[in-house]
Amino acid sequence: MVARLNEIEGISCLMPPGAFYAFPDVKEILEREIDYNWNKIKNSFDLSNYILKVAEVAVVPGIAFKAEGYLRISYATSMENIKEGLDRIEKLLK
């Protein structure tokens, strides 16, 4: 999952230390100031909502963990679901 996240332009992710989630850095994506519903996506909360509503993939905003500029993505699911979800995120953020 980490390797796949790092293939998405604007995302940087380190290998998690034994957890069941990744914590990718999305600050570069936030700098793009993506327009959604006549608003600019300015933070991880906005970005997580955008991904949920448009790509239909649930991620948790880093701000919930005092880590603005990051997302928390669980990989406690099948490889097929992970691949599909990351493909949707990549397509959305191109």
Pick from 81, 69, 88: nearest CA to 10 = 69
pLDDT at 17: 86
Query: What is the CATH class of 2-93?
Result: alpha beta
- Nearby residues of 69 by Cβ (< 8 Å), 6 or more positions away: 25, 26, 27, 30, 44, 62
88 DSSP 8-state letter: H
pTM of the model: 0.93
In this model, does residue 86 exceed pLDDT 90? Answer: yes
The residues spanned by each domain of the chain are: 2-93
Tokens of 43: 């933070």
pLDDT digits (tens, 9 = 90+) for 17-74: 877 899 999 999 999 999 998 999 999 999 999 999 999 999 999 999 999 999 999 9
